[in-house]
Amino acid sequence: MLCALQTLLLVAAVALAAAEQQPPEPEWLRHAQPADPTLGGARRSLMQAGNRFTPINKGLWENGGPTGIPMIYSNLMKDGTVIGWATTYAGPIGGSGRNDQFGTVVWNPMLKNSFQLLPMCGIQDCKNAFCSGQVTTWDNNLLIFGGHGNDKDLTGSRWYNGNTGQVASNRMASARWYPGVLTLPDGMVLIVGGVAHNGQGGWQALPDRRAEYDNPTYTVFDPRTKQFGPDRNEIRPQLNKAWPIHLFPQLNVLPDGTVTVSAGKTLVNYKRTGVDKLVKNFEYPDRPHPSAWSYPQTGIGLTLPMLPPYTNMWFLASGGSAQERATPATPASNWASIIDLQAGPKAQWFNMGSMPYPRLMGDAVYLCDGTIGFFGGAQKGIAGWSKVKQTYQYKDGSTWRCNDKCTDAHDPIYEAVIFNPLTGKWSAKGSLSEMMQMRLYHSTAVLLPSCKVMSAGSDVTNGRSAEIFTPPYLLTGRPRPQILQAPDAMRPGPGQVLTVKYASLDPVDRVLLLRTGAATHSIFFDARALYLTILPTSTVGNLQLAMPPNYNLLPPGMYMLVLLSNQGVPGVARIISNLPPA
């Protein structure tokens, strides 16, 4: 416990103004130009050549220790560890660990080490969960849907209880390879699309077997009863239009409770009319881009942090293949566009300028200062395995020979990139430090409670260790706010207030809630970030935070609470469970 003098010093700074505090309106709203839907002529860019900034320092990469497996899947749990899995477990780097078919590990960011979880079957319950979709729940469970292999793998659903260490499973009505998954406002889970046979997506899909292998249906899972609703067809027309570039559709819940589905170039809004039924509301304009950007022409999509009173929900679509029918030689795109999902049928796409690097199958995560970090990926190629044998040379001079399931993507991106949603600017090329390992196909990135980022995976390059990125905001020399007391659980609702006791030498003027990471294949399932309003009833050392008014804005799940000083320095986050409706 801090002594009285230390406590006095920590809270001495005036942390709050008398009025409610909210972040400023994004600067880019004053400059944004509509994207050119014809794709012809010169593209108009936001703020033209002025869409770059130079961070205050380069940040820092460090070795995160062995993961035992390439972490194709990564999930942040309530205790701050990361659960990951792949198809096999090969033990620590240089070790002689047993090659189990269903490898699952727990990686500890504090110890920079990992251990095997549930040997032999892992959390996959001996049903291959590779190519599945996933979400974590408010009560520290991990839900997995679909898989790879035979029927029991593809129809399998599993739930791992992070509190008891137990695994159970059930089966869906139909097989799903690469489905989209989303937690709904009432805690139910929506599972959309996928295909019913391994590999039958992308341009290698067989048109004459489409009726047999495609699965353009959806279902809803109830985590309380562990039961599924029937397969339904209301999303079928959209997924049929997007086929065959329609795998891992990206799903979002909007502030009005509707659901959007992004697949291929298409973007459609659906209204929920029952516990397990959706109906089409309207179509948005297609993303203005030369190619469809779902797997395997994989771009990166993420909603921007929402600002009170949460009337807008901006969706950023970036990168992917620069040309349709992409091959290993196809360049990646550096295009980035944005659309307000809450603007209704008249919503339009805006250009967000070119990214510093063209990027295919990278990973994006919210950072603790409200910016977005982009990591890994390639500047050429396509997501998927290649049969062409390759030798990779790492930056430390060592090499590794891939004889099977090698990469179809090339020109790896080592430098981190940061996008600032409040200014619409990207970090300039060369302004941030580079990771040591190439993170290509089957890589993941997850924000940690320390406000650092874990980057791991890349089975095509034998990525069996993690790296940790320290963003520039932690290298300024300024002190970090400290959460002294915060609730373990919360609920949204009108008049609901979250009380947080803290200490800080610099004033705290922003507070964020960030959904804990659940990532694979460049998808951040259940991605959500919101700024909270600091109420005028707050005092030095005691924050009173207005909770969002409903579950549409804050669906059930685990969220990281982050306090930001007026110097842009975040404290260590506290993971809080957002309980489902009573």
Q: CA 93, 96, 101, 106: dihedral to nearest 10 degrees?
A: -50
- The CATH class of the 4-25+482-578 domain is mainly beta
Burial 227-236 (b: 16+ CB within 10 A, else e): ebbebbebbe
Comparing CA positions, the residue from 267, 145, 282 lying closest to residue 215 is 145
Local confidence band at 417 (pLDDT 50, 70, 90 cut-offs): very high
Q: Which are the contacts of 256, defined by CB distance < 8 A and separation ≥ 6? A: 342, 552
pLDDT of residue 22: 60
Mean pLDDT, to the nearest integer, of 459-474? 95
pLDDT of residue 6: 38
Residue 3 has pLDDT above 50, yes or no: no
Comparing CA positions, the residue from 525, 522, 502 lying closest to residue 573 is 502
Local confidence band at 50 (pLDDT 50, 70, 90 cut-offs): low
What does the alpha-carbon distance between residue 44 and residue 31 come to, in Å, rounded to a whole number?
11
The two tokens of residue 132 are: 């599945």
Helices (H), 398-447: none
How many CB atoms sit inside 10 A of residue 270's CB? 23
Segments making up each domain of the chain, as ranges: 4-25+482-578
How many CB atoms sit inside 10 A of residue 246's CB? 30
Mean pLDDT, to the nearest integer, of 243-247? 96
pLDDT of residue 399: 87
pLDDT of residue 42: 28
Comparing CA positions, the residue from 425, 386, 430 lying closest to residue 404 is 386
Comparing CA positions, the residue from 136, 138, 140 lying closest to residue 163 is 140
What does the alpha-carbon distance between residue 576 and residue 274 come to, in Å, rounded to a whole number?
29
The 10s digit of each residue's pLDDT in 554-568 is 999 999 999 999 999
Comparing CA positions, the residue from 350, 348, 347, 353 lying closest to residue 338 is 350
Mean pLDDT, to the nearest integer, of 13-26? 52
What does the alpha-carbon distance between residue 576 and residue 346 come to, in Å, rounded to a whole number?
37
Q: Which of 72-86, 394-408, 463-477, 512-526 has the lowest mean pLDDT?
A: 394-408
Residue 26 has pLDDT above 60, yes or no: yes
* Backbone dihedral angles phi then psi of residue 290, each to the nearest 5 degrees: -60, -25
What percent of the chain is modeled with pLDDT above 90? Answer: 81
pLDDT of residue 20: 60
| pTM to 2 decimal places | 0.93
The 10s digit of each residue's pLDDT in 255-284 is 999 999 999 999 999 999 999 999 999 999
Local confidence band at 229 (pLDDT 50, 70, 90 cut-offs): very high
CA pseudo-torsion sign 215, 217, 221, 226: negative
What percent of the chain is modeled with pLDDT above 70? Answer: 89
Q: Which residue has the higher pLDDT, 124 or 238?
A: 238
Highest mean pLDDT of the ranges 3-12, 47-56, 456-465, 488-497: 488-497
pLDDT of residue 126: 85
**Strands in 458-554 per DSSP E:** 465-470, 482-485, 489-490, 497-503, 508-515, 518-520, 523-524, 529-531, 533-534, 542-546
Local confidence band at 100 (pLDDT 50, 70, 90 cut-offs): low
pLDDT of residue 393: 87
What does the alpha-carbon distance between residue 395 and residue 374 come to, in Å, rounded to a whole number?
20
Strand, helix or coil at 357? coil
Mean pLDDT, to the nearest integer, of 498-503? 98
Residue 17 has pLDDT above 50, yes or no: no
* Backbone dihedral angles phi then psi of residue 291, each to the nearest 5 degrees: -140, 160
Cα 558 to Cα 67, 82, 128, 275: the distances in Å are 24, 13, 26, 22
